[in-house]
Amino acid sequence: MIWKQNNINLDRLSDVAQIFANIFSCGDVVILKGDIGAGKTTLVSSITSLLGTVDVVTSPTFAIVNTYEIYPKVKGLNKIIHVDTYRLDHLNEVYDLGLETIFDEEAVTFIEWGEKIEEYVDKNHFVIEIDESQPEDRNFVFQIKGEIPRDRQNKIEDELVRGGWENYG
Ligand SMILES: Nc1ncnc2c1ncn2[C@@H]1O[C@H](COP(=O)(O)OP(=O)(O)O)[C@@H](O)[C@H]1O
Ligand SMILES: [Mg+2]
């Protein structure tokens, strides 16, 4: 299922982020695609701040992994893991240690530059693709990859429709 939302400027980004904050929960993996400057980091920051992040902890193991601790917990969620594989040599750190070391059932994991990593992700995941339509605007595509329970899929679709996302089948 492909969902789209077009021409989102920075003023409207928090509406988009709020939908994602409502949708994602513990154990989810979200792959962010888009060129440099598309707005991947900005979206992750906006989602985490809506969830009420209290602290940023840089991983001692990976140069490219930050953990944002959430207190109080939101729907059982107490952390966001943010992986930015912007440099291939950094990406190799993740391959060397194994992707499972960054997946955490108590966290939502966002992976920037995820197209390089997606083929190694065998669990269900979500993909957000961001495209610069104009200097001040972005187009968003959202996809669910793999099978998720029907009731969860319905809830996600309700959120997207409420948020003005369009279904492209
Ligand atoms: N929805 C948006 N509309 C307009 N500008 C945006 C939007 N999202 C991000 N930006 C701007 O784009 C620039 C790059 O954002 P960033 O999140 O660092 O991109 P990326 O992580 O994809 O390289 C920043 O100046 C940011 O303010
Ligand atoms: Mg970035």
pLDDT in tens, 57-109: 888 777 788 999 998 888 889 999 998 877 777 777 777 877 777 889 999 99
**CA-nearest residue, atom 9 of ligand 1:** 39
CA of 10 from ligand 2 middle (Å) equals 15
CA of 40 from ligand 2 middle (Å) equals 5
pLDDT of 26 above 80 = yes
Q: Which domain holds residue 61?
A: 2-167
pLDDT of 116 above 80 = no
Tell me, what CATH number does 106's domain have?
3.40.50.300
Dihedral (CA of 151, 156, 162, 164) sign = negative
CA gap 108, 90 in Å, rounded: 21
CA gap 16, 97 in Å, rounded: 33
pLDDT classification of 113: cutoffs 50, 70, 90: confident
pLDDT of 114 above 80 = no
- The reported pLDDT for the residue numbered 44 is 95
- The reported pLDDT for the residue numbered 162 is 96
- Alpha helices, DSSP H, located in 7-149: 10-23, 40-51, 88-97
Indicate the range of 81-90, 131-140, 144-153 predicted with least confidence: 81-90
pLDDT classification of 149: cutoffs 50, 70, 90: very high
Overall pTM > 0.85: yes
Considering every ligand atom, which ligand is closest to the CA of 36?
Answer: 1
Which of ligand 1's atoms lies nearest the C-alpha of 112?
Answer: 21
Structural domains counted in the chain: 1
Strands 125-134 and 29-33: what pairing?
parallel
pLDDT classification of 126: cutoffs 50, 70, 90: very high
- The reported pLDDT for the residue numbered 119 is 80
164: helix, strand or coil: coil
Over residues 130-153, the mean pLDDT reads 96
Question: Which residues are found with C-beta within 5 Å of the ion, ligand 2?
Answer: 40-41
- The reported pLDDT for the residue numbered 97 is 76
